[in-house]
Amino acid sequence: MDETRITRTIDLDADLAEVWRALTDPALLASWLGDEVDLEVRPGGEGTVVDGGERRRARVDEVDPDRRLALSWWPEDRSGPASTVELELEPTAVGTRLVVTETLAPHAATASTGRWGLRLLLLSCCLAPALVRM
Amino acid sequence: MNDGLDAVFAALADPTRRGLVARLVREGPTTATDLARALPITRQAVVHHLQALGEAGLVDARRSGREVRYRATPEPLAEAVGWMLQAGARWDRRLDRLRERVEGG
């Protein structure tokens, strides 16, 4: 299934425990995840994330220490789509790799199919090359 | 892979089909006859291309009286593109801040 999702991979010059702490310690998490973050990182924990002027409710779905954190979030006023976020860590020779995947919740898509990811990529390439280069 | 992906690849790999989608987006619902007028191919060939685009979900056909008008159906794509651009840009900013945080000492 080709869903609407984005992925980012970064290699950090920091050890796994330190990066995990940045994902789970409330004060550290608040320093990067958004402008205002109030989220309890434990399975089922809920909170609020304000970022880019948007206020969202968030829920922690999965906590696998030093490996994986999964959460769902949606606009507090429900005017926009919900999505899921997976943050996965793995040690590298020099530090830690973080892979972030955010996936638009299936019910949030207005389309009749879930194949938009590839379609939009292809359509963007032929109709709006400037857009995909942004 | 699945049939849907194959259909999208097949539909948009052809420059004539890309041109048809672009025209429908720019000009709105249009008949195959009008589309063919600007092209060095027959109306039947245009219809064939439009059918391929229709199977890929990029175009739909509506009958009005005796004519059939073809319309681009890019709204879900536009929404998805918008979401991806915004979500991607936000993660780029967040990950910049995270890097500063954990590497900055």
Q: Which of residues 23-82 of A touch B (CB under 8 A)?
A: 28, 31-34, 51-52, 81
Q: What was the pLDDT predicted at A107?
A: 59
CA distance A100 to A86: 6
Which residues in chain A have Cβ-Cβ distances shorter than 8 Å to B12? Answer: 122-123, 126
Region B24-38 average pLDDT: 94
Tens digits of per-residue pLDDT, B46-91? 999 999 898 878 899 999 888 999 999 877 666 777 788 899 999 9
Region A93-117 average pLDDT: 72
Q: What was the pLDDT predicted at B89?
A: 94
Which residues in chain A have Cβ-Cβ distances shorter than 8 Å to B9? Answer: 122
- Please report which confidence band the pLDDT of residue B3 belongs to, taking 50, 70 and 90 as the band edges: very low
Q: With 80 as the cut, is the pLDDT of residue A54 above it?
A: yes
Region B17-39 average pLDDT: 94
Bridge partners of A102, per DSSP, are A6, A85
Tens digits of per-residue pLDDT, B37-57? 999 999 999 999 999 898 878
Cβ atoms of A71 and A58 within 8 Å: the answer is yes
CA distance A83 to A103: 5
CA distance A86 to A116: 20
Nearest residue on chain A to B12, alpha-carbon basis: A122
Judged by CB atoms closer than 8 Å, whether chains meet at B102 and A19 is answered as yes
Mean pLDDT of chain A: 83
Judged by CB atoms closer than 8 Å, whether chains meet at B76 and A111 is answered as yes
CA distance A14 to B53: 49
A:B CB pairs within 8 Å: 111
Neighbour tally for A120: CB within 10 Å? 26
Mutate to test the interface with B, among A39, A123, A132 (most CBs of B within 10 A): A123
Please provide the DSSP assignment of A28-63 as one string: HHHTTS-SEEEE--STT-EEEEEETTEEEEEEEEEE
Which residues in chain A have Cβ-Cβ distances shorter than 8 Å to B77? Answer: 116, 119-120, 123-124
Judged by CB atoms closer than 8 Å, whether chains meet at B103 and A116 is answered as no
Q: What was the pLDDT predicted at B98?
A: 97
Q: What was the pLDDT predicted at B56?
A: 79
Q: What is the pTM of this model?
A: 0.70
Q: What was the pLDDT predicted at A49?
A: 96
